[in-house]
Structure 1
Amino acid sequence: MKKLEAKYEGKVLGLGEVMLRLTPPSYEKIIQANSFSATYAGGEANVICSLSMFGHDTKFVTKLPDNKLGEKVIKDLRSFGVDTKDIITGEGRLGIYFLEQGMGLRNTDVIYDRKYSAISMAKEDEFDIDKILEDVKLLHISGINPALSDDLKNTTLKLVKECKKRNIIVSYDSNFRAKLWSLEDARQFMLEILPYVDIAFLGILDFKNILLYDIPTESFEENLKILYTKLFEKYPNLKFASSTRRKVNSVNNNSLNGYLFDGENVNKSKEYTLDILDRVGGGDSFTAGILHGLLNQMTCEETVEFATCASVLKHSISGDMNLVSKKDVYTLMMSGVENINR
């Protein structure tokens, strides 16, 4: 059974943008709304806060505006137990995204308002790489942050290269956002970073649209094994790869499976059909569950089941953050849905 070789001591570090999310109440459209619910989140921060909920020692790095909004983000991160001492502040604003939640056959829609955000204006020399990595055992990054600027792309590459020198595990989630950069730019970055990645979160669409791999069969699981095997042959540094399969029954009801490839086998979770209160952050919750399992030397079967259950539970929680504990996840894994926990 393959296990992740990571330092026993050290923090799990995330690097990325934190944004203000504004959501109309009661599934209203934005043109109807006169008020918005405000929460703070970002793809990488969602993963780190979830890992803190699971009991890991965590740390987050970003750049925030030097104002009350920046202070609020730091306060929220600290409330999860996340180390924020290496967060920098300065010129710029806090990025905003408006989330119009779908209902029935009406899709969810996102509007970004993030130009001139503090993190997008950050320069390479503002990040002290030695200080940031001083007490770290795993770095988690995604394709969102490097899409914001060339400086952030270069900073991300410098970080992962330094991680390899220090025996720090690198976790990378493609997280392609068409509203941030083109497929060509995403492809160039992915080809640059993959030689330094240990754990890759890539789905079949990433292989097809970004890496330009042919999809060989009609079977999802066969394709996943073939594509992951090819990827691992090209990048022998890779140790694990993971993704989910989502069947959209309606905007508010999906079925979900998780998959974890260990270099030889694709391990699959049970299929869960779930009603959705808030889908945003579901993928980040799965990512956190996979990292939790691997860091805790769980079997691949246990890891992918834990991650899928963590993601399933996130869909029942408003906001981007997955506010569940290990106990909550294990209860779903072992006992399924119960009426009341007494």
Structure 2
Amino acid sequence: MPNEPLSTARRIVCFGELLMRMSPPGNELPLQSPRFEVRFGGAEANVAASLAILGHDSVMVSALPDNMLGHACAGELRRHGVDTTSLHYAEGRMGLYFFSPGAMHRPSEVLYDRADSVFARVAPGAYDWPSLLAGAQWLHVSGINLALGTSTAQATLDAVRAAREAGLSISFDCNYRSKLWGSRAAQAPALLRDIVSEADLMFGNDRDVALILGRDFPGATANDRFRAAADAAFAQWPRLRRLAATERFHRNVDDQDIVGLLATREHVLSSTTHSLTQIVDRIGGGDAFAAGLLHGLFRNMPEHAALDFAMAATCLKHSIPGDVNTLREADMLAFLTQGGFEVKR
């Protein structure tokens, strides 16, 4: 169950596709044995669920098939405390993705099966954004919507423009997925640029900014490249207030280092570098980071503390199977104080 509502809780609307994830057990290859583990997720839904668990009034706007799969997915969101009353149901198929977990020096792999899903087929005009955004303070969307087709791209642009008109703050996660863009990849920079121009907070690294602006950001370190990209982003987009990202340094699939970066128009912050060993599941790690940072900002934490909280969220997510970080604020704070690894009794 979610935490009790906080005095600094926000009503945040998340818009994106809900997916069913199919994974072979353990570190098996797909169909190595005739079994799949089934979970539900999606970039924006993972953020919505994490924020609900952290005590915020979290709303999911999406479209689902009007069948047992769609209703099971909605039920999973409700279990985490997400408001599902804005979900649209229609005849059609559920978006799927197959996740093949890597191990050691064999990388993980994702196979998407989401073409012509219910979400992809909904006409942009079907979303009554003034009503859907009523009472909210924040809208969160991602670049995945832009990659899925012209209808979902237009719906996302309509959403951010309605949010801007209504005075909401907007966060945008670039989430560039080359497999999803496919033959439409040439359209990506312009579409991403349209959304970023309306955003207050962008989740993206120097490579994302380089893609959108069509230029490179050379630098000796990840911090140098991120700082240069942030300077260019703030110069390009007057509304943008913050740019946030994580950088990974891989030893192999199971052992990595990760650092968080947060830029404002005044300064660039870098978190402690955290070692992730014997990773259980990294899917949703970026969404946990996004939700953690949003929660920190909503709680009026100093920016360095909000970044630290976001890093605690993403690090702990790597220990949890599935797409969603199901841990509470106290778990992230305990991580930051390094309370030890004894059994909690």
The normalised TM-score by structure 1 is 0.95
1:223 alignment counterpart? 225
Alignment of 1:1-342 (within 5 A): 10-181=10-181, 182-275=184-277, 276-342=279-345
SS at match of 2:26: helix
State the percentage of identical aligned residues.
34
Deviations 1:55-101 (A, max 9, x none): 11110000000111111011111111111111101022001111110
Aligned-residue offset at 1:222 = 1.7
Two-structure CA RMSD over aligned residues (Å): 1.4
1:3 alignment counterpart? none
Greater mean alpha carbon deviation, residues 45-54 or residues 206-215: 206-215
Q: Is the 8 A contact 2:52 2:58 kept in 1?
A: yes
Q: Is the 8 A contact 2:9 2:57 kept in 1?
A: no
Hey, what's the Cα distance between the residues in 2 that align with 1:147 and 1:291? Answer: 24
Hey, what's the Cα distance between the residues in 1 that align with 2:58 and 2:303? Answer: 23
The one-letter amino acid of 1:88's match is H
Q: Is the 8 A contact 2:10 2:298 kept in 1?
A: no
Hey, what's the Cα distance between the residues in 2 that align with 1:183 and 1:124? Answer: 21
* Structure 1 gap segments, 5+ residues each: 1-6
Aligned-residue offset at 1:33 = 2.6
Aligned-residue offset at 1:14 = 0.4
Going from structure 1 to structure 2, the CA distance change for 1:10 and 1:297 (only over 3 Å counts) comes to: closer
Hey, what's the Cα distance between the residues in 1 that align with 2:125 and 2:212? Answer: 30
The one-letter amino acid of 2:150's match is D
Going from structure 1 to structure 2, the CA distance change for 1:197 and 1:163 (only over 3 Å counts) comes to: same
Hey, what's the Cα distance between the residues in 1 that align with 2:144 and 2:259? Answer: 24
Greater mean alpha carbon deviation, residues 143-152 or residues 315-324: 143-152
Hey, what's the Cα distance between the residues in 1 that align with 2:101 and 2:242? Answer: 33
Q: Is the 8 A contact 1:20 1:38 kept in 2?
A: yes
The one-letter amino acid of 2:257's match is S
Hey, what's the Cα distance between the residues in 2 that align with 1:31 and 1:82? Answer: 33
Q: Is the 8 A contact 2:101 2:108 kept in 1?
A: yes
Aligned-residue offset at 1:239 = 0.9
Hey, what's the Cα distance between the residues in 2 that align with 1:31 and 1:205? Answer: 35
Q: Is the 8 A contact 2:146 2:192 kept in 1?
A: no
2:4 alignment counterpart? none
Going from structure 1 to structure 2, the CA distance change for 1:8 and 1:311 (only over 3 Å counts) comes to: closer
Aligned-residue offset at 1:10 = 5.0
* Structure 2 gap segments, 5+ residues each: 1-6
Deviations 1:232-285 (A, max 9, x none): 122110111100010111101111111111212111111110120001000110
SS at match of 2:157: helix
Hey, what's the Cα distance between the residues in 2 that align with 1:114 and 1:223? Answer: 34
Aligned-residue offset at 1:147 = 1.4
Q: Is the 8 A contact 1:184 1:210 kept in 2?
A: no
SS at match of 2:177: coil
Aligned-residue offset at 1:210 = 3.7
The one-letter amino acid of 1:173's match is D
Hey, what's the Cα distance between the residues in 1 that align with 2:212 and 2:239? Answer: 20
The one-letter amino acid of 2:342's match is N
Hey, what's the Cα distance between the residues in 1 that align with 2:190 and 2:33? Answer: 40
Hey, what's the Cα distance between the residues in 2 that align with 1:8 and 1:335? Answer: 26
The one-letter amino acid of 2:159's match is L
Hey, what's the Cα distance between the residues in 2 that align with 1:207 and 1:131? Answer: 32
Q: How many residues align?
A: 336
Q: Is the 8 A contact 1:183 1:209 kept in 2?
A: no
SS at match of 1:136: coil
